[in-house]
Chain A
Amino acid sequence: MTSSSTPVSAIGARIPRRELKRLLSGHGRYVDDIKLPHMLHAAFVRSPHAHAKIIAIDTTDARIAPGVAAVFTAVEINARCEPFVGVALHRPGHRSAPLPLLASDRAVWQGQPVAIVVAETRAEAEDAAELVAIEWEALPVIGNEQEAIAAGAPAIHAELGDNIAFDFSLNHGDSTRAFAEADVVIEEELRFARQMAMTLEARGLIADFNPGDETLTVIHAHQSPFQMQEIFSHQLKIPEHKVRVIAPDIGGGFGMKLNVYVDEIATVVASMILGRPVKLCVDRLESFLSDAQARDHHIKCRIALKKTGEILAMEVDDIAAIGAYGMPMRFNVAEGMMAITMAGAPYRFENYKARTRSVYVNKNLIGMYRGVGMPLACVVSELLTDFAAEKLGIDTVEFKRRNYWPKSALPCVTPGGQRLETVSFHECLEKLVQLMDYEGLRKEQRELRERGVYRGIGIATFCEQTAYGPPYYGPSGASISTQDGCTVRLEPSGMVRCITSLTDQGQGTLTGVAQIIAATLGVSIDDVSVVGGDSSISPYGGGAWASRGTAIGGEAALRAGNMLKKNILALASTVTQTAPEELDIVDGHVVNTQTGHNVASLADVGRIGYFRQDTLPKDFDVQLSVSASFVANDKVYYMANGVQASYVEVDCDTGFIKILGQWAVDDCGRVINPLLVDEQVRGGIVQGIGSVLFEECLYSEDANLLNGTLADYVLPMAYDVPDIFVGHVETPETSTQLGAKGIGEAGLIGAMGAVWVGVNDALKPLGAKVLHQPFTPERVLDALALAKR
């Protein structure tokens, strides 16, 4: 029997992405490739100081510079938009000062926009921006988290009284007692440098306000067009049905292009004032100064164990320097919250105490970036447990086998509050141990150590919250939709067109949706086209964030596909006088399942459905275009999980670290397309390796960025990373028909844990530890020197 709810064939196949032929031949259409008639270009004047008073702004010379259409400051721009207060209503005590579009009397981070210059070309706008004269008076700078919380530290925003944005504690059981009774305690202090998401295409948009009908169209390199439709409408007081946001091809997102940026909204305001399209494509230096950044955490953590290896308790104390304001819509307390609520999640223990503080500093805002706080949680759990296993003389794999939540305990809620239902830690670990030849590598490691070669093995287990449901953002007050939707339409020729609320920055989600539609409808994937990323044409939806596209948008597609199939079969049933239960769609034809005969092609159905309705009974309801939306009403997230391993070598003379091999086994539920999932995992891993080994925003004492180029900010290139082997365990999500969970962040989360543990494993015989990310050669050599003392 063929049930319409059990799609087959195209799902699970290694189907190459359909966009690639276009993208690989120079035919992509990214924001900066698009020209609109009468379009102007924007450049921003940004604060050169981390904290300074604006005494005066003189735009006279800039206004008369060649090609300049207008120069606006806070006077014109801020009048059109209320400032943002980036505070989550469901986090008691969370506070932020209001964030204006442009700084008016004071700038609080280097790079904060102060004026916008609009000209015929970007080059002319940049030239004129140089001519805006601003008189500054430098103010005292809060440069890091310790200065922020120091007694008597001046408050960056006087009205808040101090620099604490958010202070949250949780306590489960009695960790104090557990630590007092422990046989073994491991305690460490970890630092995670501030870093960038660094999409290769920097941020950009074209704001096109049409004064004729007062509609706003924004072509926006953004992961969530519907979020931005709501923001533009609400903030700029344009009725929502007159705002359209279109995401074209996007050169990478990674969460960074999910945030709300004041310079982007100021660009829209400029278009509204001028009645002309205005393009903003920030350059790389601006990207360093204005893209939402990530991490900047200082974490103290400890673990208590019995001699037998049983974990008694954990404690985590996190402090995060989140920049000068709360991030609009997406907030910036999530890294800390995830770090403390997810630390230790794979392990069974009773007692847990944790605190996170987010503090304001005179730096750019922290915002969403792949993994958010989950990689920090992974590093905390895996480093502490690896050190503990070492101290107890238990092999780290054996330690994990003993301490993971057993299947028999599921579903469960961890002490940090994580709900685990369909996780598969043991299966992933056993598969990984096979994949990497764990015993073989341990043997090689031992032999090489005798020859003075220091290699380490790091294994990291993690959970990944994917595909949030409304309980996550709903109570925060932010208008962020966790649903997605899909329209599926049979075209008269029998082809199928699908319009999804999802966006695709390279993940391959749109190909995944095509696979799901093809499988559900029983047609070839070549006969299905998918468009996404246009807020005016699809059902409402969230777009791409939190590893949700396929799990949520894919489920909506599946449901829409099933509805359309039912309608097609109903029409075919009427035309052929056959019971609908006896019909199915196979290879694009309606077939009689009893006889096996083709009874109609989809083109026949389309022709009758659109052009020969006169041949149908007069009350027959033809619906060959259907929409479905899906939201995980009752779930906060679908919890995915995995285990990764790194094999690393540390050169103790130079401090250089080489990753020799990387293995990952992930469980993201049902895999729709392993080809795309594997490269998604690998890409995340390389970002994780970059985070641990290379990436760091360096600042002077007065919080000025010192490395604003890709020559100074080191990113992983092909030579810096190893081959990466990916395996899968598939434990489907039980609450959907599709059964998919997310995979977007898994690679990064696990890689950060595995590389941290691997490098420190290599250093064990030398008595050294590196605990400050990134592990630059200097920090490695310092750690070795400290151990020799």
Chain B
Amino acid sequence: MSELDLIGDEDVEIETTLNGSTLKRRVKARQHLADFLRQEMELTGTHLGCEHGICGACTVLIDGRTARGCLTLAAQASGRTVDTIEGLSQSGKLAELQKEFIERNAAQCGFCSSGMLLTAYELVSEGKKLSRAEIREYMSGNMCRCTGYHAIIDAVEAVLTRVAGGKR
């Protein structure tokens, strides 16, 4: 074996609240959060598009804020709350956004959708009224290769309008 071996191969104990349940696990220090969720927890709704933080497919919520699952080590989730597409779907928190996305066909292959919905959820949760251009800017950390973004922006705007009304 060479000097490359086993950097980060040691185990780390983590305790985290994942989708509402407390969880204790030993993880490889080098394992990123998205791999942990997908491989260890079999929560495959968090997708990996680039594994270097650009595409946003791996977006999850950590302590309620969006984060890149591929740039976060699983160990960093210790002591924090992690929410994924599965948990937020099951709890109904994404229901309104999901309904608007479906009705407007704001998804094609669906690979970006988990991340897109979580970013949209964060935007809507902030409750600020945004212009269409501002919504586009907010959503620009999530790449979609299939749709023209138009329907996604429509869907987010529809929910935001209901939530934020005239607030600015």
The interface of chain A, by Cβ under 8 A from chain B, is 16-17, 19-21, 23-30, 32-33, 61, 64-66, 121, 123, 127, 130-131, 198-202, 249-254, 283-284, 505-508, 675-676, 678-687, 709-711, 715, 717-721, 723-724, 747
| Contacting residues, chain B, for A710 (C-beta < 8 A) | 49-50, 52, 54-55, 143
A-facing mask of B100-137, CB < 8 A → 1, else 0?
01111111111111100100000000000000110111
Do B44 and A26 touch across chains, with their CB atoms under 8 A apart? yes
Given A200-B144, A679-B105, list of 5 further CB < 8 A pairs?
Answer: A21-B98, A26-B45, A66-B6, A284-B49, A711-B53
Nearest-neighbor residue (CB-CB) of A34 within chain B = B44
CB of B73 within 8 Å of the partner chain = no
Residue interface bits B73-103, CB-to-A below 8 A is 1, else 0: 0000000000011100100001000100111
Interface pair A506/B52, CB less than 8 Å apart: no
Q: Which residues does chain B contribute within 8 Å of A711, judged by CB atoms?
A: 52-54
Task: Please give, as numbers and ranges, the residues of chain B lying within 8 Å of A505 by CB-CB distance.
Answer: 108-109
Residue of A nearest to B95 (CB): A25
Kindly state the separation between the CA atoms of A747 and B161 in the bound complex, as whole angstroms: 30
Q: Decide: A679 and B50 in contact? CB cutoff 8 A.
A: no
29 residue pairs A–B, Cβ–Cβ below 8 Å: A17-B102, A23-B113, A24-B89, A24-B102, A24-B107, A26-B114, A32-B48, A61-B1, A130-B4, A199-B109, A200-B49, A202-B49, A251-B110, A252-B108, A252-B109, A252-B145, A507-B108, A675-B105, A679-B151, A682-B148, A683-B148, A710-B143, A715-B143, A717-B141, A718-B135, A718-B149, A719-B139, A723-B132, A724-B148
Residue of B nearest to A26 (CB): B45
**Selected contact of B145 from candidates A28, A715, A721, CB within 8 Å:** A715
Most buried by B among A24, A25, A121, A507: A24
Query: Is B24 interfacial (CB-CB < 8 Å)?
Result: no
**Is there an interface contact between A679 and B147, defined as CB atoms closer than 8 Å?**
yes
B43 close to A26 (CB less than 8 A)? yes
| Chain B residues within an 8 Å CB radius of A720 | 140
A770 to chain B, nearest CB (A): 24
Q: Does A709 lie within 8 Å of B50, measured CB to CB?
A: yes
* Residue B162 CB within 8 A of the other chain: no
A201 touches B102 (CB 8 A): no
Chain A residues lying within 8 Å of B2, measured Cβ to Cβ, are 61, 131
Specify the chain A residue showing the minimal Cβ separation from B30: A123
CA of A676 to CA of B107 in the docked complex: distance in angstroms?
A: 10
Say whether B110 contacts A284, CB under 8 Å. no
Q: Given A24-B101, A27-B45, A506-B110, are A682 and B145 also a contact pair (CB < 8 Å)?
A: no
Which of A254, A506, A723 is within 8 Å of B150, CB to CB? A723
Q: Which of A17, A33, A681, A686 contacts B44 (CB 8 A)?
A: A33
User: With a CB–CB cut-off of 8 A, which chain B residues contact A198?
Assistant: 145
CB <8 Å contact, B148 and A721: yes
**Contact pick for A683, options B103, B111, B140, B147, CB 8 Å:** B147
Cβ of B57 < 8 Å from any Cβ of A?
A: yes
Pair B51/A16 contact, Cβ less than 8 Å: no
B29 at interface by CB-CB < 8 Å = no
Residues of A within 8 Å of B102, CB to CB, are 16-17, 20-21, 24
Contact A201/B1 with A17-B102, A24-B117, A28-B45 known, Cβ cut-off 8 Å: no
- Determine the chain B residues whose CB is within 8 A of the CB of A32 once the complex forms: 38, 44, 48
B42's nearest neighbour on chain A, judged by CB, is A35
Q: Is the interface of B mostly helix, strand, loop or mixed?
A: loop
Q: In the complex, how many angstroms separate the beta carbon of B92 from the nearest chain A beta carbon?
A: 11
Most buried by A among B54, B112, B150: B150
The count of residues in chain B whose C-beta lies closer than 8 Å to any C-beta of chain A is: 64
A interface footprint on B42-72 (CB within 8 Å = 1, 0 otherwise): 0111111111111101000000000000000
The distance in angstroms between the C-alpha atoms of A17 and B106, with both chains bound, is: 10
Q: By the criterion CB–CB under 8 Å, are A25 and B55 in contact?
A: no
Chain B residue at smallest Cβ distance from A287: B50
- How far is A16 from B103 in the complex, measured between Cα atoms in Å? 6
Q: Are A20 and B107 within 8 A (Cβ)?
A: yes
Residues on the A chain within 8 Å of B114, using CB: 26
**A737→B43 CA distance, assembly (Å):** 45
| Residues of A close to B85: CB separation below 8 A | 25-26
Contacts A26-B84, A33-B44 given; does A16 touch B57 at CB 8 Å: no
Given contacts A20-B101, A687-B145, A723-B150, contact A250 B107 (CB under 8 A): no
User: What residues on B are CB-neighbors of A684 within 8 Å?
Assistant: 148
- Could you tell me the distance between the alpha carbons of A20 and B133 in the complex, rounded to whole angstroms? 26
- Are B50 and A30 in contact, with the CB atoms below 8 A? no
Q: Which of B47, B110, B146, B150 contacts A24 (CB 8 A)?
A: B110
In the bound complex, what is the Cα–Cα distance between A27 and B88 (angstroms)? 13
The residue in chain A whose Cβ has the minimal distance to the Cβ of B151 is A679
Q: How far is the CB of A178 from the nearest CB of chain B, in Å?
A: 40
Pairwise interchain contact A719-B140, C-beta atoms closer than 8 A: yes
* Distance, CA A130 to CA B4, complexed state (A): 9
With a cutoff of 8 Å between Cβ atoms, the chain A residues found around residue B144 in the complex are 200, 718
Given the complex, which residues of B lie within 8 Å of A284, measured CB to CB? 49-52
B163 at the interface (CB under 8 A from A): no
Q: Does B159 contact A (CB under 8 A)?
A: no
| B23 shortest CB reach to chain A, Å | 18
Check A686/B148 contact, CB under 8 A, given A710-B143, A719-B140: yes
Q: Hey, which chain B residues are within 8 Å of A17, CB to CB?
A: 102, 105
Q: B164 contacts the other chain (Cβ, under 8 Å)?
A: no
Complex-state Cα separation, A20 to B139, whole angstroms: 20
A200 touches B112 (CB 8 A): yes
Query: Least Cβ distance of B37 to chain A in Å?
Result: 10
A29→B109 CA distance, assembly (Å): 11
Q: Which residues of chain A are near B101, meaning CB under 8 Å?
A: 20, 24
Chain B neighbourhood of A724, CB < 8 A: 148, 150
Note all chain A residues with C-beta closer than 8 A to B141: 717
Chain B min CB distance to A671 (Å): 14
Give the complex CA separation of A505 and B107 in angstroms: 11
Residues from chain A with Cβ under 8 Å of B49 in the complex: 200-202, 284, 710
- The answer for the CA separation of A709 and B71 in the assembled complex, in Å, is 14
Bound Cα distance from A687 to B102, whole angstroms = 22
Alpha-carbon distance between A681 and B149 when the two chains are bound, in angstroms:
11
Q: Is B33 an interface residue (CB 8 A)?
A: no
Q: When the two chains form their complex, are residues B140 and A718 in contact, meaning their CB atoms are under 8 A apart?
A: yes
Q: Cα distance A746–B136 when bound, in Å?
A: 24
Q: How far is the CB of A368 from chain B (nearest CB, A)?
A: 16
The CA-CA distance from A64 to B1 in the complex, in Å, is 8
Considering the complex, give the chain B residue whose CB is closest to the CB of A27. Answer: B45
Q: Are B145 and A19 in contact (CB under 8 A)?
A: no
CB neighbours of B14 from chain A (8 A): none
A680 proximity list for chain B (CB < 8 A): 108
- Are A679 and B148 in contact, with the CB atoms below 8 A? yes
Docked Cα-Cα span, A709 to B52, in Å, equals: 8
Cα A292 to Cα B52 with chains together (Å): 22
A679 and B143: CB pair below 8 A?
no
Report the Cα distance A605→B46, complex, angstroms.
Answer: 44
Cα(A283)–Cα(B39), bound, Å: 16
Tell me if A30 and B47 are in contact (CB < 8 A): yes
* A786 and B52 alpha carbons, distance in the complex (Å): 38
A718 touches B55 (CB 8 A): no
